[in-house]
Amino acid sequence: MTLRLEGVSKVAGRQTHIHPTDLELKNGTMNVLLGPTLSGKTTLMRLMAGLDAPTTGRVFWNDEDVTGVRVQKRNVAMVYQQFINYPSITVYENIASPLRLAGKSKADIDAAVRKTADLMKLTPMLQRKPLELSGGQQQRCALARALVKNAGLVLLDEPLANLDYKLREELRVEIPKIFEEAGSIFVYATTEPEEALLLGGNTATLWEGRVTQFGPTPDVYRRPVDATTARVFSDPPMNFLQISKTGRKLMFGDGQSTPAAGKLAELADGRYTAGFRPNHLEIFQHTPDAMEFTTRLAVTELTGSETFVHLDHHGERWVGLLQGVHDLELGNPLKVWLNPAHVYIFGEDGHLVAPAAYALAA
C-alpha cells in the first residue's frame, strides 16, 4: 500500500494553507508531521483523508487516483487531539462500533475487539464506560476504535497533547510497537521535536504550509536541508550567529575563529550563518576546543529538572540549557562556549552547506 500526493495544495481565498506538495508514504511506516501550530499539519492530514478536496494536485492510493473520493469510501481512520468516545456505551461497544457499521459478523467483531483491546491493554476495562476510565485509558479506547477498523491509513492529530506527562511518556513508548504490529500507514502530527525522535520512522517538517524536508527521522534531525528545517526540528529553536569565511578560517563574533577544515575548507570566502542547538551551548564548563562568547542573561526558565537560559549576544537572542535548577542574576554578563563540532553552516539563502561534524560521525 502507498499513499502518494502529487502537487497537492490547499488555498482558501487569498490564504495558502498548503503549498504544492509531493509526498509518498509506504505501507507499515510511521510518518510524523512536525511543525508549529498553524504550519499546516491538520490541513495536510485532511487532504490525505479526503475530508477536504485539494485546490490543485492529485491524491493516489495504491496508484489509484482517489482525489475526488469521499472519506466514507476510503479505508481511513482518524484520531484527534480531543479524543472522542461514546459515553453511554461500554469500552467493548465503543471499539466494536465501526465493525458493526461495516456489517461484520458477531464472531468477527468479538475476535477483532478482543485482539485490539489486548494490544491497547484495555481487556480489564471492556465492560466499563469511558467516563469510568483515566484520561490515558480513554485515549487508548479512541485509538483502539481506529485500529480495529484495520484501516490502511491511520491519521493521528496530536493524540497525546491533552494527557499528563506520565501518560504521554507511556503511550509514546507503546505507540511505535502498536503500529508495527498493525502494518498500516500511520501519520502522526506533533509540535514537539522530542516526540518525533521518540516515535522514529520518517518525519516531514512543515513551516507555513510547506513541507521543507521528508526522510528518516534521525537523518532529518542531524542533517536539516536548511535553516528553517533546523529551526522546526529543535526545541527551543536552533540558535544562529552570523559568521564569515576568510582563507582557511571561519570568523565568529567576539573575535573567535576556527580552522575551516575538511569540506569547510572548500567553501568560498564570504558570509554565512552558523547554527547550533541549545543543548550544545556550554555553560560553566567547556571542552578544550570550544570557542568563548560573552553574553548577557536576559531570562531564565525553570522546568524542574532543567533551566533554560535566554541570552543576548550583541542583539542576537540565544537559548542555552542547564541541567538542574540554577538561580542566576538577570542582566549579568555570562560567558558561554561552543564546540565547532556542533556547528551547522548555512548559506545566505538559508540552505545547508556543511552539516555539523558530530552529525556526520553519527
In Å, the largest CA–CA distance within the chain is 76
User: Average pLDDT for residues 86-98, to the nearest whole number?
Assistant: 95
Res 169: pLDDT: 77
User: Average pLDDT for residues 132-159, to the nearest whole number?
Assistant: 87
- C-alpha to C-alpha distance for 202 and 192, rounded to whole angstroms: 14
Res 183: pLDDT: 74
Q: Domain ends where: 189, 208, 231?
A: 231
Say if residue 171 is in the same domain as residue 24.
yes
User: Average pLDDT for residues 338-355, to the nearest whole number?
Assistant: 93
Instruction: Please state the domain count of the chain.
Output: 2
Say if residue 173 is in the same domain as residue 267.
no
pLDDT at 39 over 90: yes
Res 362: pLDDT: 65
Res 359: pLDDT: 81
pLDDT at 302 over 90: no
The CATH number covering residue 142 comes to 3.40.50.300
Q: Domain ends where: 178, 201, 231?
A: 231
Say if residue 214 is in the same domain as residue 281.
no
HEC states along the chain?
CEEEEEEEEEEECCEEEEEEEEEEEECCCEEEEECCCCCCHHHHHHHHHCCCCCCEEEEEECCEECCCCCHHHCCEEEECCCCCCCCCCCHHHHHHHHHHHCCCCHHHHHHHHHHHHHHCCCHHHCCCCHHHCCHHHHHHHHHHHHHCCCCCEEEEECCCCCCCHHHHHHHHHHHHHHHHHHCCEEEEEECCHHHHHHHCCEEEEEECCEEEEEEEHHHHHHCCCEHHHHHHCCCCCCEEEEEEEECCEEECHHHCEEECCHHHHHCCCEEEEEEECHHHEEECCCCCCCEEEEEEEEEEEECCCEEEEEEEECCEEEEEEEECCCCCCCCCEEEEEECHHHCEEECCCCEEEECCHHHHHC
pLDDT at 143 over 90: no
- Measuring CA to CA, which residue among 18, 35, 17, 22 is closest to residue 228? 35
Per-residue pLDDT tens over the stretch 211-266: 999 999 999 999 999 999 999 999 889 999 999 999 988 898 777 888 887 778 88
Whether cis (ω within 30° of 0) applies to the bond prior to 236 is: yes
Which of 3-12, 132-141, 206-215, 230-239 has the weakest average pLDDT?
A: 132-141
Domain that holds residue 311: 236-361
Say if residue 227 is in the same domain as residue 240.
no
User: Average pLDDT for residues 38-45, to the nearest whole number?
Assistant: 96
Res 70: pLDDT: 86
Per-residue pLDDT tens over the stretch 275-295: 999 999 998 888 888 889 999
pTM above 0.85, yes or no: yes
| Amino acid letter, residue 131 | L
Q: Give the chain's mean pLDDT.
A: 90
Say if residue 40 is in the same domain as residue 171.
yes
Higher pLDDT, 300 or 32: 32
Query: Angle formed by the axes of helices 135-147 and 165-182, to 10°?
Result: 20
- Measuring CA to CA, which residue among 93, 88, 160, 150 is closest to residue 119? 150
Instruction: Tell me the CB-side half-sphere exposure of residue 307, using CA atoms within 13 A.
Output: 14
Say if residue 116 is in the same domain as residue 241.
no
The CATH number covering residue 322 comes to 2.40.50.140
Residue whose C-alpha cell reads 480495529 in the numeric block: 148
Q: Domain ends where: 177, 196, 231?
A: 231
